[in-house]
Structure formats: structure tokens, C-alpha cells
């Protein structure tokens, strides 16, 4: 990769701009960065054009739909599977509850489901004829709180590329991930949106990197806003960081051009942070690069 930066999987991006994920993927691709496509995207797998793209899976309770997602993602050129573990169901989000805000109930962010043959096969009527029933059918398969480590074998049987687990903040879970033979993990608390008072991802990172970095690739997500933030995470053991929320700000303001601007500024600040700190590249960073009071 040209930089230790990946595009975090962000759902329902049409809430920010009509082009949604299409604009974000194009901006990332223009800079050679890897784009991650969310299960809850506003555009389907096949619509995303990018040279390097990964697929983030919210594991549905319907195994037929899950298998179909894996097959479609592979056929569409997604090289890595990223399984989110920290959102088996949505956390307590008072701001959303106060507003009755859940875009999925309006069918937004369900493009991958509504375009899926396995999903469609279990509907009484086509999506366009009865969208409300399609949404309710989706609602039966999104909350999936019963996943276990043993079920990783299903992914191995049906996905021949690397598998990354996203949402790890405990050393014991990181060790279990390594024991189960996954290829990488993302230290993430889902942007702080799942459990109030959860450990900060950056606080969890050093111990996890020390425990498993020789066995699998450790990536970092949540709270990354600036190039300096990225440098800190890289110094504490991450191989790369996922950039999320700032991209939505750029997307909302100027579509693809806005995402491009945010990415270029982010990469420039990371470059300057390294240079002004005396490093030729990010691989020279280590814990001694940081000073603690």
C-alpha cells in the first residue's frame, strides 16, 4: 500500500451525499488507498469500482444470505473479508432514539440485501412492490448476538482470501483470534458508538499489538481524525489505521472532491508529522517515539 491508511467501512453514506460510497471509493482509488465496503451500504457490491477493496461483513442470521454475500463480494473483486464483531446489535444511542432515527427502516443502507438473490428468494413480494415487508425481513437477520468462535470455520470454507476480525479491544480475544487462524484484526470500539464508557481503542492497542503482532496483522480504528493521530497509533503497534468520520465531513461538503481533499490533507499531515519528528517513514516509529507525562 502507498500509505498505512485504509478507508473505514461506513454505512449509509447517501445520508451525507447522493453519490455516497461511489464517491468515497473513487476518491480512495485515485490515491491508491484501500476502500472497505460496508454491509449496510447505500450501493451494492457490484457498483463499487476500486483497485483495492475489502468487504466488511455484518454476519446475518440467515446463512444463505451470508453465503451469497461472500460469493458476490468475491466475484466483485473484494480481496479481504472484514468481520465486525462489536455490533451484533445496535448499542444504546439516545440521540437516535430521541429522533426515531434508523435509516434502515426506510430501506436506506440496505442495497446489498435488496439486490441479493438469496434475500429476494425469501420475500413474498418483490422489494419494489412491498418495501416495508423487505425491511422487516432484513430486521430479522441483522441482530446476530449468538456468534461463536466455532463459526469461523464457515467463513474459511466459503472465503479463500484473508479474514480480519474488527472490534477487538481485549488481549484475550486477540489471542483467540490468533489461535483460530485469522489473518488480522482491527482494534476498534466502533467509534465509541456501542458501549458508553468502553475502553478507548488507543488504550487497548499496545497490549494487543504486543501479544499478537507476530502472528497476525494488527490494524487500528476509532478516533483517528488527523495525521498525528495516525502516527501515534502506528507507534503503538498498528500496521495501518482506518479513517472514517472525517471522510463523511468531506463527502457531505463536496462529494468526491471533498473526500479527496480530506484524504490528501490527512496524508500530508502524517508525512509532515513523521518528517518533523525525525523519521524517514512510518516503519521507524515505535513506543519510544511517544512521550508520556
190 catalytic? Reply is yes
The torsion angle over the Cα atoms of residues 153, 156, 158 and 163, rounded to 10 degrees, is 120
H-helix segments, the chain: 21-30, 63-75, 94-99, 111-114, 117-120, 131-139, 152-158, 171-179, 201-212, 227-235, 245-276
**Phi, psi (degrees; rounded to nearest 5) at 124:** -70, -40
Question: Quick one: three-class SS letters along 60-122?
Answer: CCCHHHHHHHHHHHHHCCCCEEEEECCCCCCCCCHHHHHHCCCHHHHCCCCHHHHCCHHHHCC
Question: Which entry of 17, 137, 190, 282 is annotated as an active-site residue?
Answer: 190
What residues act catalytically?
A: 190
Amino acid at each position: 500500500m502507498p500509505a498505512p491508511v485504509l478507508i473505514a467501512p461506513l454505512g449509509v453514506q447517501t445520508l451525507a451525499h447522493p453519490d455516497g460510497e461511489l464517491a468515497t471509493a473513487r476518491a480512495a482509488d485515485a490515491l491508491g488507498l484501500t476502500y472497505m465496503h460496508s454491509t449496510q451500504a447505500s450501493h451494492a457490491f457490484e457498483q463499487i469500482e476500486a483497485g483495492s477493496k475489502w468487504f466488511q461483513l455484518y454476519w446475518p442470521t440467515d446463512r444463505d444470505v451470508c453465503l451469497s454475500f461472500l460469493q458476490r463480494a468475491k466475484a466483485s473483486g473484494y480481496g479481504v473479508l472484514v468481520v465486525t464483531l462489536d455490533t451484533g446489535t445496535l448499542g444504546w444511542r439516545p440521540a437516535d432514539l430521541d429522533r426515531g432515527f434508523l435509516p434502515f427502516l426506510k430501506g436506506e443502507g440496505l442495497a446489498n440485501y435488496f439486490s441479493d438473490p438469496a434475500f429476494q428468494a425469501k420475500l413474498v413480494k418483490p422489494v419494489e412492490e412491498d418495501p416495508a415487508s423487505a425491511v422487516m425481513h432484513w430486521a430479522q437477520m441483522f441482530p446476530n448476538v449468538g456468534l461463536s468462535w466455532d463459526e469461523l470455520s464457515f467463513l474459511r470454507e466459503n472465503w479463500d482470501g484473508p479474514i480480519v476480525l474488527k472490534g477487538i479491544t481485549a488481549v484475550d480475544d486477540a489471542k483467540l483470534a490468533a489461535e483460530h487462524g485469522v489473518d488480522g484484526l482491527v482494534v476498534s470500539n466502533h467509534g465509541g458508538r456501542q458501549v458508553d464508557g468502553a475502553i478507548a481503542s488507543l488504550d487497548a492497542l499496545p497490549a494487543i499489538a504486543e501479544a499478537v503482532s507476530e502472528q497476525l496483522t494488527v490494524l487500528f480504528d476509532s478516533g483517528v481524525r488527523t495525521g498525528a493521530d495516525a502516527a501515534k497509533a502506528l507507534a503503538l503497534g498498528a500496521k495501518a489505521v482506518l479513517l472514517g468520520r472525517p471522510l463523511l465531513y468531506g463527502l457531505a461538503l463536496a462529494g468526491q472532491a471533498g473526500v479527496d481533499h480530506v484524504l490528501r490533507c490527512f496524508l500530508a499531515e502524517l508525512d509532515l508529522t513523521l518528517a518533523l519528528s525525525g523519521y524517514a517513514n512510518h516503519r521507524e516509529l515505535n513506543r519510544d517515539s511517544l512521550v508520556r507525562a
